[in-house]
Structure 1
């Protein structure tokens, strides 16, 4: 490609000069090649264009590199033009940039196209705002300066977010450590229960073994005694049978009277052996059934990742209360802040579900269900319009959190609120769980996943989930 070959061209380009200018580099052709579409380019310019696209830089017609042929006629004409005796290089002023099209200084700036132009380019920018370079530069600098300020604010946000991510990484590590401790503690507790169960069953087995072996030993001793007596009787009879006839017959009546055996034949007594089936039959099921006394089932658990930073939970996520200070937890998208709420860890899209929450004597609380997309990062009014169906207590008044905030008439203060959710019917009902008394039912065509929602208020006394009943059914 020609370099600095035409930097001294006349200010007014000659018609032939325009015909001899490469459309790519805007310089006089050097070793031009011709494409099938009839456009010509410097060989080097075309090679560089091929690295980007295999299309003509002017008309965008596709072509193969092998289809380009040398344009000798154009090459000879370009060389003759450069050798003209009346052409002399004209030096531009130092630091002056020239227009590639008109070879004149770039003295104007087009605000619309955001590019430098020369005075002859004005006709190509009709209706555009053109400003001298000295006026255009401050405008562009101000524009970029405003962007820099925006980016700097964004940079601060990125740094803050990055730090939050690092804190979250540490928090995940902390969560894993705490969960590991709880898992080991619970498994160890259950292991102790199983060891105790094992000891009781082994003791029962040993007791029965001892009893059955004692009975069998007594039976053996009794049989041995009778065996000795029977042997003595046989020996006596054989001895008498060996006498002479007269003495034998003389004692026969007496001997015959003694030849009597009234004892029953020895035999196994009933249930003489171990009742093995009682000890090992369905052993796993029996142990598991007995484990019910040592485990609790909760239909719903609190989700700590959604809890307001002002709420603290117990180790197994079944109780929540006010935190003495704001907890340092990751501000994830699912966490409520600033509203003091927490969701259940379970979600529902169909079927019937039920859970109880013990609100005790807390003076303020909200319980119910909500859509998965409920607002979490700003305050909102609890109502069906916001995707929440709930009841609550505030300032001594029980309310249904509907559009009108209806007062709920309650004869006795409920300490346990039972929530029944029937998604197939589109109903959520609230009950006094302790008295099994119906309070209110709300209806809606639920279209999102539904979560239990709890607003326990800021109190030192906890709000707790109530364990569900465990029943074993066999068939």
Structure 2
């Protein structure tokens, strides 16, 4: 693009860093860097989030303005080019013109040849001088052409490297964008999962508080009603007491004794009648209503009881799997409830069906999955060797088996006190503790199989793939040792 052009036309401030040519409709970004309008549009069309190709600053929107000053500078440069083309019609004339302007500082002669041994232009007198005796010379134009070709090759090599780096840059940017998208998606997933638990706890809290308020209100209503009765009785007694005291302190003895017998008889009959109708004991025939809140309901192992209820909303719940005897190797012994498998001492006489393993001491779960998220746990205890994971329905079960993801096996393995992720370039898993119980998580649509130390739910390893057929839980028992047990949570 730039071959044969004057050096002052190649000033970096007139070149677009994307196409490496003179600016065409120069525009300036918010960060201050300028590009051709078509170049920045092309770059931004390939990016999810617009950014500057030079400083990598990220922008909220695709926004730029025309750089009028730069456009005028480019127009001036183009006019200068046209003028030079008219003044110096071709490269040969230009070369001769330039050659005539350079002289040898020692002999004042025109520099016409190039000394290959010393790597510099010299004049014809220098050629015959003792200083250059035995040296090889070529014409200036030939030397120029030769070195230009070498530089062109270097430029071509640099362009190839730049193209590769551009591709690497684009790939790295895509990877960065993918990680950011994954991080955002996973953050939303975490927030959603915790929101469900918080909502459950908040709903349960409000229900218990409402239940407490209703129970307290019922008790208080009875007590309030009884209090009103006591107050009414007290008023009646106070009135009777006042009447009796008024009669009792009558100064006129005649008036006091007049009808006194009937009055006392009436009072005794009222008291006797009241005692007969009130079978319960109390002060002044008043009954105290007692009541207490259900302390055991509201103050007890609340967290434990709520945790039990939470199991009904946990997704995925703990899958209660069983083992499939039709897939078990003849040397394996399954428990009656099909939740435990041991390497037996006697080989069983079983039909050699297509489902059954015949070389590896393996067994599959009875339940297969074609969708959804599932989680189960297996007690491995102190077993020295085992394999756990999932396998697809069509995977090979006969003869020597390659237990790799490409063959339909996504498993981890313990052997010789080393943990492996089978079939991967870096198989060793750096576990600092020996799990007693392994958790296996399958997200069918998400293409994920993850393994956990179920004792503390610390992550061990995750496979990612695309699943297209039914998957079954997979178990390899290992040598003669303790059994593998499916863990069924009991509350």
TM-score, length basis structure 1: 0.38
Q: Bigger relative contact order, structure 1 or 2, given CA contacts below 8 A and separation 6+? A: 1
Q: Which structure has the greater CA radius of gyration?
A: 1
Q: TM-score, normalised by structure 2?
A: 0.37
